[in-house]
Amino acid sequence: MASSSQRIPNMRLEMEDFAFEERVTMYMLRQDKQREVRKKFLLHRLIFIARISPELADKRDLGGYYEQLYQDLQRYYQGDGVTGLLLLYPSYILHIVESSNDVLFSVLRDLVHMQRQGHSALILEPRILVISHDIPNRLFQQWSYKVLSVPARRLAAAEQTESHEKLVSESLTMLMKLGVEMLKTPKRSKNSADSVLDKEPELIVPQDNIEQLLKNEALLTPLQYLDTYDCPINVVMDSDRVWPPYEHFLPIP
């Protein structure tokens, strides 16, 4: 009879015979590529609109406010760069922010805090156009703001009856095209927003569209969005609405 010391080497040889060669799959290559691109944080984009407070004398103060806010957030969330564009209309704002999830939620909480200040708030009645998660790349190379002198125009009767969904879609399409054009400008150009908007004024979302969108209650306010995000999910199944419970209907074996 073979001793146990003799059986163990034989077992090892048998296991080596059945060992499979490790191969690199396309799925593994895709995972490695994603780890390289997203090793710091996933990229998200927030777009919101609001009405400028009539108490604000100089709209550039609002640009300076957000400039300081993003500097503070980047010191707290190191490595989470902020890019985007703040458009300051005569009466409204349209703000695009690209950064990590932590930064975007800090911006939303700052908006909620600002609304609780009442008459001293810089902007009023903010609503979220869209929040895009895990976007592949940035549309803007840096964050900047632009004061617009866009004259208000009266919407035609056909435009006034347009659905809010169509207005949202048209506005987002214009903003995406604006971002693509700004990507073509030289990197670190301080006047990239000025040059693109002056050359392509048709890419500016009309102020009247923003006015109409702010009346759309289907667009969430920052407070509504945060309440939905923070509250626990209690899913009620259809079977929970039936009495007696479903198992009572099962045949008795």
Q: Which of 131-145, 148-162, 235-249 has the highest mean pLDDT?
A: 131-145
Mean pLDDT of 124-144: 91
**Pairing state of beta strands 44-52 and 123-132?**
antiparallel
Q: What pLDDT shows up at residue 80? A: 78
Looking only at Cα atoms, what is the longest distance across the chain? 101
Confidence of residue 70 (pLDDT cuts 50, 70, 90): very high
pLDDT band of residue 45 (cuts 50, 70, 90) is very high
**Is the distance from CB of 202 to CB of 187 less than 8 angstroms?**
no
Q: Which CATH architecture has domain 39-223?
A: 2-Layer Sandwich (3.30)
